[in-house]
């Protein structure tokens, strides 16, 4: 996929309707600009409590603009609930302090075949429309002398999922993180997901799903790819 770089301040400087339409097209075409999650230089200036206070205020304005009555018992707590959900839950992967702590172990069993952890549940959100991406990740690696606890594979995948994402970037971020931790290029990641930006709006196709993959090191060979794919299809 050809990558296009969009300035971080684009949304703050929409000078004309043409610029707005251009950014709408970028979103619907699922363009992405960088392997790293786009963050501005002051991203961590506010602590989580301060972020929640600001988000609650902004969301109050959104609800008021939509015409909702925030004095209603069902709605009055919504801005703070949304803010808490954003910071503490669905976008918690934006905070470096939430990155999983990883311990490696010696491969004392001399297990030299691939290890595959499949059907890892993923909940993320499309960075173009802020609606859910729901899917599964399948991860494989071949040890270079170190092994990782199985649950850490899940935690790493979920950490990178808990931020505004595109599926291609998510796949690469998980793979690169594991390559660095395990000190090996021999890592494979496949993600299958449903995008609610496709199924609940726009084209409204409820039957389609998206598959993305990363194959590094030994997994670049057709034999290893096929072996990995056979395992995740069991």
Query: Could you confirm whether 128 is annotated as catalytic?
Result: yes
Catalytic residue among 126, 165, 168, 177: 126
Q: For domain 39-90, which architecture applies?
A: Orthogonal Bundle (1.10)
Catalytic residue among 165, 173, 177, 195: 195
Residue 14, classed as helix, strand or coil, is coil
Q: How far apart (Å, rounded) are the C-alpha atoms in residues 73 and 108?
A: 59
Catalytic residue among 167, 168, 173, 177: 167
Please report which confidence band the pLDDT of residue 229 belongs to, taking 50, 70 and 90 as the band edges.
very high
Catalytic residue among 30, 129, 185, 227: 129
Q: What is the mean pLDDT of residues 184-208?
A: 96
Query: Could you confirm whether 129 is annotated as catalytic?
Result: yes
Q: What is the pLDDT of residues 158-169, one digit of tens each?
A: 999 999 999 999
Domain parsing of the chain, residue ranges: 1-33, 39-90, 104-232
pLDDT at 29: 60
Domain 104-232 has CATH 3.30.1130.10: yes
CB 206 within 8 A of CB 199: yes
In 3D space, the residue among 175, 192, 196, 193 whose CA is nearest the CA of residue 184 turns out to be 175
């Amino acid at each position: 996929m050809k990558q296009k770089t969009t300035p971080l301040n684009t949304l703050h400087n929409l000078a004309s309707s043409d610029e707005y339409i251009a950014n709408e097209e970028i979103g619907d075409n699922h363009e992405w600009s960088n392997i790293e999650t786009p963050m501005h230089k002051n991203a961590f200036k506010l602590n989580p409590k301060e972020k929640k206070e600001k988000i609650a205020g902004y969301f109050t304005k959104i609800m008021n603009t939509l015409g909702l009555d925030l004095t209603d018992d069902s709605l009055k707590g919504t801005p703070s609930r949304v803010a808490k959900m954003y910071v503490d839950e669905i976008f918690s992967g934006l905070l470096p302090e939430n990155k999983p702590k990883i311990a490696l172990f010696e491969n004392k069993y001399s297990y030299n075949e691939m290890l595959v952890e499949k059907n890892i549940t993923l909940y993320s959100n499309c960075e173009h429309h802020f609606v859910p991406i729901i899917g599964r990740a399948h991860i494989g690696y071949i040890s270079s002398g170190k092994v990782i606890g199985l649950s850490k594979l899940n935690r790493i995948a979920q950490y990178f999922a808990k931020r505004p994402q595109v599926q291609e970037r998510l796949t690469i971020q998980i793979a690169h993180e594991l390559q660095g931790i395990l000190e090996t290029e021999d890592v494979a990641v496949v993600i299958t997901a449903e995008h609610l930006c496709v199924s609940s709006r726009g084209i409204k196709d409820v039957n389609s799903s998206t598959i993305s993959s990363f194959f590094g090191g030994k997994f670049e060979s057709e034999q290893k790819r096929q072996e990995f794919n056979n395992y995740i299809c069991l």
